[in-house]
Amino acid sequence: MGRKATLVVLVRHGERLDEADRFAWQQMRTHETQYDPPLTKTGYKQSSLAAKKVLQQLANSGAPPVTTIYSSPTARTLGTAAAMAQEVGVSRVLPAYGLNCCAAAKMTGVASKYWGPPTEATMRGVACSWPPLQDAKEVNQRNRSERGFVQSLQELASAHGEESVIMVSHREGIWEVLQHFGRRPHKEYCSTHYLWYDHDSQKLTLWDPDKDPAESDAAGPRSGAKTATTDLGAILAKGQGRLALKGTHGRKLWQTPGVRDLWVEGGEIHPGEVIELCSSPQASEGDEGDFVLVRKENGIEGWTKVRNLSSAVLPEAIECRRMAGRMVPEALKALAN
């Protein structure tokens, strides 16, 4: 990039204990820690490996070195940040409220009693500043908007120069970023995404370090390919196709899977309305079930529960039925003659 820019390496945390070993988590959790599971041993290994890959990617592309590591103030993200810090040679992790975009934080607030200073077991010898950076009230307000997480990333990046910074966060924020750039959500632990923050435009640009920098896009379009199958399971597995809302009641689109009262403005879908599927099923926090990202014909996107959907009757199928309805009487008439 010809102008002053900061490279943001956005990373999802490693494997969390409650998803890997539910029984072990039930044995150790308390009321205060119910939304704050730690990493597993595998999670720490994933984090170290992710850091090594980041270092290799930056070296291969000639990007500036990592100078700072930010983290959401949860045990799983701070543990991930600590493991990465040891690999990249950064001595301190900086927690930031704006990176706490998980479903629980959106429901209870980023500075609630469920998150406190990390333990030695979490940080493993790496220093951690406390309290977290950024204003909690402003972040809570941002988290109620559809692009609040993107704004938090921009705010953190604006404090840096021509350098690379790692920001460890949650899948919900990464989903928001990918959706912002027209990309498909996914759910891999320690997934890594590269974004340039341009200080002149004050905007982020998604970057694929395996491509020429000139090929980076600010709003890459989704693939317009459609699948002709009407099998619901096959469409969901592929994460692409056309579905319809079943039942007799309309449904609001969710901004964040599992977080009630945060609805997409103008995003209600109606019974029988055909919508485009933009992701495979993603699990939500709590007992709300699996969600998928969908797009209405007017371009509005949001999340809805998988159980509310059915396969859509495609126009081609409707035309075939109409033609069949015409052909059968004509065939019977011909036989009669």
Q: Amino acid identity of 252?
A: K
Class of domain 232-311: mainly beta
Q: Do the beta carbons of residue 269 and residue 251 sit within 8 Å?
A: yes
Beta bridge partners of 310: 244
Fold of 5-215: Rossmann fold (3.40.50)
Helix axes 75-88, 41-61, angle to 10 degrees: 50
Q: How many angstroms separate the first and last alpha carbons of the chain? A: 78
Q: Do the beta carbons of residue 184 and residue 127 sit within 8 Å?
A: no
Task: Give the distance between the most distant pair of CA atoms in the chain.
Answer: 92
d(CA 173, CA 179): 10
Among 72, 207, 84, 41, which Cα is nearest to 136's?
Answer: 72
Q: Amino acid identity of 223?
A: S
Among 262, 247, 274, which Cα is nearest to 303's?
Answer: 262
Q: What are phi and psi of 127, to 5 degrees?
A: -70, 155
Stretch(es) of the chain classified as CATH 3.40.50.1240: 5-215
Local confidence pLDDT in tens for the 337 residues of the chain: 557 999 999 999 999 999 999 999 999 999 999 999 999 999 999 999 999 999 999 999 999 999 999 999 999 999 999 999 999 999 999 999 999 999 999 999 999 989 999 999 999 999 999 999 999 999 999 999 989 999 999 999 999 999 999 999 999 999 999 999 999 888 899 999 999 999 999 999 999 988 754 444 444 444 444 445 678 999 999 999 999 999 999 999 999 999 999 999 999 999 999 999 999 999 998 789 999 999 999 999 999 999 999 987 644 444 444 554 554 455 445 444 4
Between the CA atoms of 226, 192, 138 and 141, what dihedral angle is there, to the nearest 10 degrees?
30
Helix-, strand-, coil-residue percentages of the chain, each rounded to 5: 35, 20, 45
Burial class (CB in 10 A: 0-12, 13-18, 19+), 2: exposed
Please state whether beta strands 66-71 and 164-169 pair in parallel, antiparallel, or not at all (unpaired): parallel
Stretch(es) of the chain classified as CATH 2.30.30: 232-311
Beta bridge partners of 95: 71
